[in-house]
């Protein structure tokens, strides 16, 4: 799927009731999408008030699209709600590729390196340590501050950007999922 110039895995069909409202255009049907998302995330106070999908930057739209490639669960629904709240408040500064594995961004082509003896989360934990990102891993769930992660994915240093994208790509290939760290 091509979304704002980025290649994504196909969106999970379970997200269909709200995908258009979150990704492309907030319309008069936003109330129905809001109620559906509120029910899925089990967040009775969630609101899309102030959210305008048509005002998203291309990379922000891709970030939301990446979240919607995951299976529909309470956790992924809450991640989409978090994204919508951050975007509505203007606190989400997302101006770069989120992860090469998810976006397959042709602008950042890199040679593959064999990492057969490396645990899937080690490269990401190494990068997180260097970049002072607070990370919590529970099973195949990785809790990290999305705003700080996006800050480093938008870094002017292409080596940092590339290494972080490679680490995220490795996590994605091995079934790890990202969730927003609260607090």
Parse the chain into domains and list their residue ranges: 1-93, 96-183
Confidence of residue 98 (pLDDT cuts 50, 70, 90): very low
- Cβ neighbors of 160 (< 8 A, separation 6 or more) are 127, 131, 152
User: pTM of this prediction?
Assistant: 0.53
3-state secondary structure of 117: coil
Half-sphere CA count of 178, side-chain side, radius 13 A? 31
Least confident of 59-63, 107-111, 116-120, 140-144: 107-111
Output the CA–CA distances (angstroms, integers) from residue 10 to 7, 14, 19, 29, 159, in the order listed: 9, 11, 12, 23, 28
Confidence of residue 79 (pLDDT cuts 50, 70, 90): confident
Q: By C-alpha distance, which of 155, 152, 161, 159 is closest to 105?
A: 161
Beta strands per DSSP E along 61-165: 135-138, 141-144
Q: Residue 54 burial by CB count (10 A; 0-12/13-18/19+): exposed, middle or buried? A: exposed
Percent of the chain with pLDDT over 90: 6
Confidence of residue 116 (pLDDT cuts 50, 70, 90): low
């Amino acid at each position: 799927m091509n979304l704002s110039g980025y290649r994504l895995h196909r969106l999970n069909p379970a997200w269909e009731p709200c995908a258009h409202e979150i990704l492309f255009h907030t319309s008069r049907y936003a109330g129905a999408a809001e109620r559906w998302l509120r029910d899925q995330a089990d967040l009775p106070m969630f609101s899309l008030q102030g959210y305008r999908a048509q005002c998203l930057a291309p990379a922000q739209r891709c970030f939301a699209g990446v979240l919607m490639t995951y299976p529909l669960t309470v956790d992924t629904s809450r991640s989409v709600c978090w994204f919508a709240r951050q975007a509505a408040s203007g606190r989400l500064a997302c101006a770069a590729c989120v992860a090469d594995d998810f976006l397959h961004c042709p602008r950042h082509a890199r040679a593959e390196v064999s990492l057969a003896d490396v645990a899937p989360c080690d490269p990401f934990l190494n990068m997180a340590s260097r970049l002072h990102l607070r990370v919590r891993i529970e099973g195949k769930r990785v809790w990290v501050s999305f705003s700080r992660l996006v800050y480093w994915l938008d870094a002017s240093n292409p080596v940092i950007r590339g290494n972080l994208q490679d680490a995220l790509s490795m996590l994605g290939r091995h079934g790890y999922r990202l969730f927003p760290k609260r607090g």
